[in-house]
Structure 1
């Protein structure tokens, strides 16, 4: 594993969350249903509300004081937690950061008897490998990555814990 710590993000973490989220959208625009242009327009209240914990957890991964990864989850339907916004800075990929973030999010879901699931961009095979190694499985659902995009995403679910 890496020399990274994963911490729950709260409303007070909004500047760090905003900065790395916007970095992720610039670095890997083909990986997300949202865009840098859309989220760069968010005000402080919007960023804070995304981290208030009411919809689910948000976590930041730090190397020292530098944010190097993020991920979140939100209760999108009864009994389920959708994993969203996963990203690891390119210089930290392959060092277990994404796994640590998933551990936190999946642990949060399991403590509440929620089934984690997610959509992964088909243009992001590295992320899909991570999710499948973690135990997520495709269920055959696909959709456009975002409205008007030729890119697609595949739905993956994590089976219930034994």
Structure 2
């Protein structure tokens, strides 16, 4: 069963780092950010990403492996922008994104 984890604390930075690097490595064409922009940012940069005001970050986990990510940020007029979505190729088409 897929477990969704809300990354609600800056202490979740190692999980966010693992998920984000997996997504950027597997699907570099799908994101504005590039893999080269992130690995050398250090712990402070990863923590800062999780503490952005109004940010909402989720990872999907199956059998202990991160298989998906979704992140949203506050947008204009009180709306939210879906900024990042990724699902591992090994589980695509199986409803993880739902």
With the length of structure 1 as denominator, give the TM-score of the two structures.
0.56
Q: How many aligned residue pairs are there? A: 97
- Residue 92 of structure 1: aligned partner: 91
How many angstroms apart in 1 are the aligned matches of 2:90 and 2:4?
17
Structure 2 unpaired stretches of 5+ = none
How many angstroms apart in 1 are the aligned matches of 2:11 and 2:52?
12
Equivalent runs, 1:16-55 vs 2, <5 Å:
16-52=15-51, 54-55=53-54
SS in 2 for 1:96: coil
Which stretches of structure 1, 4 residues or more, deviate above 6 A after TM superposition? none
How far is the alpha carbon of 1:30 from its aligned partner? 0.8
How far is the alpha carbon of 1:66 from its aligned partner? 1.5
- Residue 5 of structure 2: aligned partner: 7
How many angstroms apart in 2 are the aligned matches of 1:89 and 1:82?
22
- Residue 57 of structure 1: aligned partner: 56
How far is the alpha carbon of 1:20 from its aligned partner? 1.8
How far is the alpha carbon of 1:84 from its aligned partner? 1.3
How far is the alpha carbon of 1:54 from its aligned partner? 2.1
Structure 1 unpaired stretches of 5+ = 100-162
With the length of structure 2 as denominator, give the TM-score of the two structures.
0.89
How far is the alpha carbon of 1:53 from its aligned partner? 5.8
Larger radius of gyration: 1
- The two structures, once aligned, show a CA RMSD in angstroms of 1.4
Does the alignment pair 1:83 with 2:82?
A: yes
Kindly provide the CA deviation profile for residues 137-156 of structure 1, in whole angstroms up to 9, marking residues without a partner as x. xxxxxxxxxxxxxxxxxxxx
Compare relative contact order (CA 8 Å, sep 6+) and give the higher one, 1 or 2. 2
